[in-house]
Chain A
Protein backbone atom coordinates (compact mmCIF):
# COMPACT_ATOMS: atom_id res chain seq x y z
CA UNK A 1 0.00 0.00 0.00
CA UNK A 2 2.83 2.36 0.89
CA UNK A 3 4.21 2.07 -2.60
CA UNK A 4 0.84 3.00 -4.09
CA UNK A 5 0.53 5.94 -1.74
CA UNK A 6 3.74 7.45 -3.07
CA UNK A 7 3.27 6.58 -6.73
CA UNK A 8 0.09 6.33 -8.73
CA UNK A 9 -0.48 3.14 -10.68
CA UNK A 10 -0.17 5.16 -13.89
CA UNK A 11 3.27 6.44 -12.82
CA UNK A 12 4.48 2.93 -12.05
CA UNK A 13 3.24 1.61 -15.38
CA UNK A 14 4.96 4.53 -17.06
CA UNK A 15 8.23 3.69 -15.37
CA UNK A 16 8.02 0.11 -16.53
CA UNK A 17 6.73 0.57 -20.07
CA UNK A 18 7.87 4.11 -20.90
CA UNK A 19 6.08 7.38 -21.42
CA UNK A 20 2.76 7.18 -23.26
CA UNK A 21 2.37 10.87 -23.83
CA UNK A 22 4.95 13.61 -24.47
CA UNK A 23 4.94 17.24 -25.52
CA UNK A 24 7.50 17.59 -28.30
CA UNK A 25 8.75 20.93 -29.61
CA UNK A 26 10.07 21.37 -33.14
CA UNK A 27 12.97 23.81 -32.95
CA UNK A 28 15.65 25.26 -35.17
CA UNK A 29 16.81 28.39 -36.97
CA UNK A 30 14.53 30.05 -39.55
CA UNK A 31 14.08 28.32 -42.93
CA UNK A 32 15.34 24.87 -42.00
CA UNK A 33 11.93 23.27 -42.64
CA UNK A 34 10.35 23.08 -39.19
CA UNK A 35 6.80 23.67 -40.38
CA UNK A 36 7.34 21.44 -43.43
CA UNK A 37 8.34 18.68 -41.02
CA UNK A 38 5.41 19.43 -38.68
CA UNK A 39 3.09 19.23 -41.70
CA UNK A 40 4.68 15.94 -42.74
CA UNK A 41 4.18 14.41 -39.30
CA UNK A 42 0.59 15.61 -39.04
CA UNK A 43 -0.30 14.61 -42.59
CA UNK A 44 1.08 11.11 -42.04
CA UNK A 45 -0.60 10.53 -38.67
CA UNK A 46 -3.70 12.73 -38.62
CA UNK A 47 -4.30 13.83 -42.22
CA UNK A 48 -4.11 17.44 -41.08
CA UNK A 49 -1.42 20.14 -41.49
CA UNK A 50 0.19 22.57 -39.04
CA UNK A 51 0.66 25.75 -41.05
CA UNK A 52 1.81 27.50 -44.21
CA UNK A 53 5.40 27.31 -45.45
CA UNK A 54 7.41 29.84 -47.41
CA UNK A 55 10.92 30.52 -48.71
CA UNK A 56 10.79 33.81 -46.82
CA UNK A 57 12.34 33.40 -43.36
CA UNK A 58 10.16 33.72 -40.25
CA UNK A 59 7.00 32.46 -41.96
CA UNK A 60 6.00 30.91 -38.61
CA UNK A 61 5.86 33.76 -36.12
CA UNK A 62 3.58 32.24 -33.50
CA UNK A 63 3.91 28.79 -32.00
CA UNK A 64 1.28 26.34 -33.24
CA UNK A 65 0.44 22.99 -31.75
CA UNK A 66 -1.57 19.89 -32.33
CA UNK A 67 -2.54 17.68 -29.41
CA UNK A 68 -2.63 13.90 -29.11
CA UNK A 69 -0.93 12.91 -32.33
CA UNK A 70 -0.53 9.15 -32.08
CA UNK A 71 2.72 7.97 -33.66
CA UNK A 72 3.18 4.21 -33.86
CA UNK A 73 6.25 2.05 -33.96
CA UNK A 74 5.35 -1.61 -34.31
CA UNK A 75 3.72 -2.69 -31.07
CA UNK A 76 4.51 0.53 -29.23
CA UNK A 77 3.18 4.02 -29.75
CA UNK A 78 3.45 7.48 -28.30
CA UNK A 79 0.84 10.21 -28.10
CA UNK A 80 2.54 13.51 -28.80
CA UNK A 81 1.50 17.13 -28.52
CA UNK A 82 3.50 18.54 -31.42
CA UNK A 83 4.53 22.19 -31.00
CA UNK A 84 5.83 23.98 -34.10
CA UNK A 85 7.89 26.95 -32.89
CA UNK A 86 9.09 30.10 -34.69
CA UNK A 87 12.70 30.02 -35.87
CA UNK A 88 15.30 31.17 -33.37
CA UNK A 89 17.66 33.90 -34.58
CA UNK A 90 20.02 36.43 -33.04
CA UNK A 91 19.02 39.16 -35.49
CA UNK A 92 15.98 40.25 -37.47
CA UNK A 93 16.44 42.87 -40.18
CA UNK A 94 13.33 44.06 -41.94
CA UNK A 95 15.45 45.29 -44.86
CA UNK A 96 16.27 41.68 -45.70
CA UNK A 97 12.60 41.01 -46.35
CA UNK A 98 12.44 44.05 -48.63
CA UNK A 99 15.71 43.65 -50.51
CA UNK A 100 15.89 39.86 -50.81
CA UNK A 101 12.24 38.86 -50.94
CA UNK A 102 10.59 41.96 -52.37
CA UNK A 103 8.13 42.59 -49.55
CA UNK A 104 6.83 46.12 -49.03
CA UNK A 105 8.40 48.24 -46.30
CA UNK A 106 5.26 48.11 -44.20
CA UNK A 107 4.90 44.33 -44.57
CA UNK A 108 8.62 43.83 -43.87
CA UNK A 109 8.52 45.87 -40.68
CA UNK A 110 5.44 44.05 -39.46
CA UNK A 111 7.00 40.69 -40.24
CA UNK A 112 10.24 41.66 -38.47
CA UNK A 113 8.39 42.81 -35.35
CA UNK A 114 6.34 39.63 -35.21
CA UNK A 115 9.49 37.58 -35.80
CA UNK A 116 11.21 39.07 -32.74
CA UNK A 117 8.15 38.22 -30.65
CA UNK A 118 8.19 34.73 -32.14
CA UNK A 119 11.78 34.11 -31.06
CA UNK A 120 10.89 35.08 -27.50
CA UNK A 121 7.85 32.80 -27.57
CA UNK A 122 9.92 29.88 -28.88
CA UNK A 123 12.47 30.30 -26.08
CA UNK A 124 9.73 30.44 -23.44
CA UNK A 125 8.14 27.23 -24.73
CA UNK A 126 11.29 25.38 -23.68
CA UNK A 127 9.97 25.42 -20.11
CA UNK A 128 6.97 23.28 -21.02
CA UNK A 129 8.32 20.52 -23.23
CA UNK A 130 9.29 16.90 -22.69
CA UNK A 131 11.50 16.50 -25.74
CA UNK A 132 12.85 18.37 -28.73
CA UNK A 133 12.98 17.61 -32.40
CA UNK A 134 15.79 19.92 -33.50
CA UNK A 135 15.69 20.57 -37.22
CA UNK A 136 18.91 21.43 -39.01
CA UNK A 137 19.52 22.15 -42.66
CA UNK A 138 21.80 19.38 -43.95
CA UNK A 139 23.04 21.65 -46.74
CA UNK A 140 24.41 24.21 -44.28
CA UNK A 141 27.31 24.47 -41.86
CA UNK A 142 26.10 22.76 -38.67
CA UNK A 143 28.19 24.85 -36.28
CA UNK A 144 26.04 27.96 -36.42
CA UNK A 145 25.75 29.77 -33.13
CA UNK A 146 21.99 29.26 -33.05
CA UNK A 147 22.37 25.47 -33.41
CA UNK A 148 25.09 25.36 -30.76
CA UNK A 149 23.15 27.64 -28.40
CA UNK A 150 19.90 25.67 -28.70
CA UNK A 151 21.66 22.34 -28.23
CA UNK A 152 23.63 23.62 -25.24
CA UNK A 153 20.43 24.93 -23.68
CA UNK A 154 18.61 21.63 -24.17
CA UNK A 155 21.52 19.68 -22.73
CA UNK A 156 21.57 22.00 -19.69
CA UNK A 157 17.86 21.26 -19.21
CA UNK A 158 18.43 17.50 -19.72
CA UNK A 159 15.75 17.49 -22.41
CA UNK A 160 15.91 14.56 -24.83
CA UNK A 161 16.91 15.77 -28.28
CA UNK A 162 16.53 14.20 -31.68
CA UNK A 163 18.19 15.98 -34.58
CA UNK A 164 16.39 15.91 -37.94
CA UNK A 165 18.97 16.50 -40.67
CA UNK A 166 16.51 17.97 -43.16
CA UNK A 167 16.68 18.69 -46.89
CA UNK A 168 18.53 15.51 -47.85
CA UNK A 169 16.68 15.63 -51.16
CA UNK A 170 19.02 18.47 -52.12
CA UNK A 171 22.21 17.63 -53.98
CA UNK A 172 24.61 19.46 -51.68
CA UNK A 173 23.22 18.01 -48.45
CA UNK A 174 25.58 16.25 -46.09
CA UNK A 175 23.80 14.56 -43.18
CA UNK A 176 27.09 12.80 -42.35
CA UNK A 177 28.55 16.20 -41.43
CA UNK A 178 25.72 16.72 -38.95
CA UNK A 179 26.21 13.25 -37.51
CA UNK A 180 29.89 13.86 -36.92
CA UNK A 181 29.22 17.36 -35.54
CA UNK A 182 26.78 16.17 -32.86
CA UNK A 183 27.70 12.57 -32.02
CA UNK A 184 26.07 12.82 -28.59
CA UNK A 185 22.55 12.92 -30.12
CA UNK A 186 20.70 10.71 -32.59
CA UNK A 187 20.69 12.33 -36.05
CA UNK A 188 18.07 11.18 -38.57
CA UNK A 189 18.52 12.26 -42.20
CA UNK A 190 15.17 13.20 -43.70
CA UNK A 191 13.45 15.12 -46.44
CA UNK A 192 10.40 16.69 -44.84
CA UNK A 193 9.39 17.87 -48.31
CA UNK A 194 9.35 14.46 -50.02
CA UNK A 195 8.86 12.32 -46.93
CA UNK A 196 12.03 10.35 -47.62
CA UNK A 197 13.13 8.44 -44.49
CA UNK A 198 10.14 9.72 -42.49
CA UNK A 199 9.40 6.18 -41.28
CA UNK A 200 12.86 6.01 -39.72
CA UNK A 201 12.25 9.35 -38.01
CA UNK A 202 8.94 8.16 -36.53
CA UNK A 203 10.47 4.91 -35.29
CA UNK A 204 13.28 6.82 -33.63
CA UNK A 205 10.93 9.45 -32.17
CA UNK A 206 8.79 6.84 -30.44
CA UNK A 207 11.76 4.87 -29.15
CA UNK A 208 13.88 7.87 -28.17
CA UNK A 209 11.29 10.04 -26.46
CA UNK A 210 9.79 7.12 -24.57
CA UNK A 211 13.15 5.73 -23.53
CA UNK A 212 14.67 9.04 -22.59
CA UNK A 213 11.72 10.06 -20.46
CA UNK A 214 11.94 6.79 -18.60
CA UNK A 215 15.67 7.23 -18.11
CA UNK A 216 15.29 10.85 -16.97
CA UNK A 217 12.64 9.94 -14.43
CA UNK A 218 14.45 6.86 -13.32
Chain B
Protein backbone atom coordinates (compact mmCIF):
# COMPACT_ATOMS: atom_id res chain seq x y z
CA UNK B 1 0.00 0.00 0.00
CA UNK B 2 1.40 3.41 -0.90
CA UNK B 3 1.66 6.27 1.54
CA UNK B 4 -1.16 8.03 -0.33
CA UNK B 5 -3.53 5.09 0.21
CA UNK B 6 -2.88 4.77 3.90
CA UNK B 7 -5.07 7.69 4.95
CA UNK B 8 -4.96 9.35 8.30
CA UNK B 9 -5.47 7.63 11.63
CA UNK B 10 -7.72 9.31 14.17
CA UNK B 11 -7.49 7.34 17.39
CA UNK B 12 -9.83 7.78 20.32
CA UNK B 13 -8.01 6.94 23.53
CA UNK B 14 -10.13 5.83 26.45
CA UNK B 15 -9.91 7.15 29.96
CA UNK B 16 -8.99 3.65 31.20
CA UNK B 17 -6.05 3.43 28.79
CA UNK B 18 -4.77 6.84 29.86
CA UNK B 19 -5.10 6.00 33.54
CA UNK B 20 -2.83 2.97 33.04
CA UNK B 21 0.06 5.32 32.26
CA UNK B 22 2.18 7.36 34.59
CA UNK B 23 2.33 11.02 33.58
CA UNK B 24 5.70 10.53 31.84
CA UNK B 25 4.52 7.39 30.04
CA UNK B 26 1.41 9.18 28.87
CA UNK B 27 3.38 12.06 27.37
CA UNK B 28 5.84 9.68 25.69
CA UNK B 29 2.93 7.70 24.23
CA UNK B 30 1.17 10.81 22.93
CA UNK B 31 4.30 12.32 21.40
CA UNK B 32 5.29 9.06 19.73
CA UNK B 33 1.86 8.60 18.21
CA UNK B 34 1.69 12.20 17.00
CA UNK B 35 5.19 12.00 15.53
CA UNK B 36 3.95 8.96 13.61
CA UNK B 37 1.28 11.15 12.05
CA UNK B 38 -1.68 10.08 14.16
CA UNK B 39 -4.39 12.34 15.52
CA UNK B 40 -5.45 11.45 19.05
CA UNK B 41 -8.67 12.27 20.82
CA UNK B 42 -8.18 11.77 24.55
CA UNK B 43 -11.28 11.02 26.59
CA UNK B 44 -9.52 12.63 29.54
CA UNK B 45 -7.12 15.40 28.61
CA UNK B 46 -3.90 16.48 30.23
CA UNK B 47 -3.45 18.60 33.33
CA UNK B 48 -1.96 22.07 32.71
CA UNK B 49 1.39 20.86 34.10
CA UNK B 50 1.31 17.87 31.73
CA UNK B 51 0.42 20.15 28.82
CA UNK B 52 3.40 22.38 29.58
CA UNK B 53 5.62 19.33 29.89
CA UNK B 54 4.31 18.09 26.53
CA UNK B 55 5.13 21.44 24.91
CA UNK B 56 8.67 21.27 26.32
CA UNK B 57 9.14 17.71 25.07
CA UNK B 58 7.70 18.65 21.68
CA UNK B 59 10.19 21.49 21.29
CA UNK B 60 13.03 19.05 21.91
CA UNK B 61 11.68 16.68 19.24
CA UNK B 62 11.11 19.20 16.46
CA UNK B 63 12.88 18.21 13.26
CA UNK B 64 12.56 21.00 10.78
CA UNK B 65 11.58 19.01 7.69
CA UNK B 66 9.60 16.19 9.28
CA UNK B 67 8.05 17.29 12.57
CA UNK B 68 7.17 20.95 13.23
CA UNK B 69 5.27 20.42 16.46
CA UNK B 70 1.78 19.69 17.67
CA UNK B 71 -1.69 21.12 17.46
CA UNK B 72 -3.52 20.63 20.74
CA UNK B 73 -6.95 21.79 21.80
CA UNK B 74 -9.01 20.73 24.75
CA UNK B 75 -11.22 21.88 27.51
CA UNK B 76 -9.71 22.86 30.83
CA UNK B 77 -10.62 21.25 34.09
CA UNK B 78 -14.01 22.21 35.43
CA UNK B 79 -13.65 24.41 38.46
CA UNK B 80 -14.50 22.36 41.54
CA UNK B 81 -17.51 23.51 43.50
CA UNK B 82 -17.19 24.54 47.12
CA UNK B 83 -18.50 21.16 48.26
CA UNK B 84 -16.09 19.31 45.96
CA UNK B 85 -13.19 21.33 47.36
CA UNK B 86 -14.21 20.41 50.90
CA UNK B 87 -14.49 16.74 49.95
CA UNK B 88 -11.15 16.93 48.13
CA UNK B 89 -12.66 15.90 44.82
CA UNK B 90 -10.48 17.11 41.96
CA UNK B 91 -12.11 17.27 38.58
CA UNK B 92 -10.03 15.88 35.74
CA UNK B 93 -9.26 17.68 32.48
CA UNK B 94 -11.80 17.04 29.81
CA UNK B 95 -11.57 15.85 26.22
CA UNK B 96 -8.51 16.91 24.21
CA UNK B 97 -7.48 16.50 20.59
CA UNK B 98 -3.78 16.37 19.70
CA UNK B 99 -2.16 15.91 16.30
CA UNK B 100 0.85 16.86 14.21
CA UNK B 101 0.81 20.61 13.47
CA UNK B 102 1.32 20.01 9.74
CA UNK B 103 -1.76 17.78 9.65
CA UNK B 104 -4.27 19.19 12.11
CA UNK B 105 -5.51 22.77 12.28
CA UNK B 106 -7.92 24.27 14.78
CA UNK B 107 -10.61 26.31 13.08
CA UNK B 108 -12.69 27.40 16.03
CA UNK B 109 -13.14 26.65 19.68
CA UNK B 110 -15.87 27.70 22.03
CA UNK B 111 -17.39 26.30 25.18
CA UNK B 112 -19.39 23.68 23.25
CA UNK B 113 -17.28 22.63 20.31
CA UNK B 114 -13.71 22.34 19.09
CA UNK B 115 -13.74 22.53 15.31
CA UNK B 116 -10.63 21.20 13.59
CA UNK B 117 -9.58 20.51 10.03
CA UNK B 118 -7.24 17.93 8.60
CA UNK B 119 -4.94 19.74 6.20
CA UNK B 120 -5.48 18.35 2.68
CA UNK B 121 -2.65 16.50 1.01
CA UNK B 122 -1.12 15.15 4.20
CA UNK B 123 -1.17 11.43 4.68
CA UNK B 124 -0.16 9.31 7.64
CA UNK B 125 3.58 8.93 7.89
Q: CB < 8 Å: which of B55, B64, B68, B109 contacts A149?
A: B55
Quick check: A120 and B59 within 8 Å, CB to CB? yes
The verdict on A90 contacting B48 (CB below 8 Å), with A112-B64, A116-B62 known, is no
Would you list which residues of chain B between 62 and 115 have a CB under 8 Å from chain A? 62, 64, 68-74, 76-77, 101-102, 106, 109-110
Shortest CB–CB separation between residue A60 and chain B, in angstroms? 15
Contacts of A90 in B (CB 8 A): 55, 58, 69-72, 101
Quick check: B110 and A143 within 8 Å, CB to CB? yes
- A109 in contact (CB, < 8 A): yes
- B56 in contact (CB, < 8 A): yes
Chain A 136-157 interface 0/1 with B at a Cβ cutoff of 8 Å (1 = within): 0000010101001111110110
In the complex, A88→B54 CA distance in Å?
12
Quick check: A141 and B68 within 8 Å, CB to CB? no
- B3 in contact (CB, < 8 A): no
Quick check: B56 and A120 within 8 Å, CB to CB? yes
- A132 in contact (CB, < 8 A): no
Contacts of A126 in B (CB 8 A): 52
Shortest CB–CB separation between residue A58 and chain B, in angstroms? 12
The verdict on A92 contacting B72 (CB below 8 Å), with A123-B52, A155-B48 known, is no
Quick check: A92 and B76 within 8 Å, CB to CB? no
Shortest CB–CB separation between residue B77 and chain A, in angstroms? 7
Quick check: B69 and A113 within 8 Å, CB to CB? no
Shortest CB–CB separation between residue B2 and chain A, in angstroms? 25
In the complex, A148→B46 CA distance in Å?
12
Would you list which residues of chain B between 33 and 67 have a CB under 8 Å from chain A? 47-49, 51-52, 55-56, 58-60, 62, 64
- A217 in contact (CB, < 8 A): no
In the complex, A152→B58 CA distance in Å?
19
Q: CB < 8 Å: which of B49, B58, B60 contacts A156?
A: B49
List 30 A–B pairs whose Cβ atoms lie within 8 Å, in order of A's numbering. A88-B55, A89-B55, A90-B58, A90-B71, A90-B72, A91-B62, A91-B101, A92-B59, A92-B62, A92-B69, A93-B68, A109-B64, A112-B62, A116-B59, A117-B59, A119-B56, A120-B56, A123-B52, A143-B110, A145-B73, A145-B74, A145-B106, A148-B76, A149-B55, A150-B52, A152-B51, A153-B48, A153-B51, A153-B52, A156-B47
* New A-B contacts (6) at CB < 8 Å, excluding given A90-B58, A91-B69, A109-B64: A92-B69, A93-B68, A126-B52, A143-B110, A153-B49, A153-B51
Q: Which residues of A are interface residues toward B (Cβ below 8 A)?
A: 88-94, 109, 112-113, 116-117, 119-120, 123, 126, 141, 143, 145, 148-153, 155-156
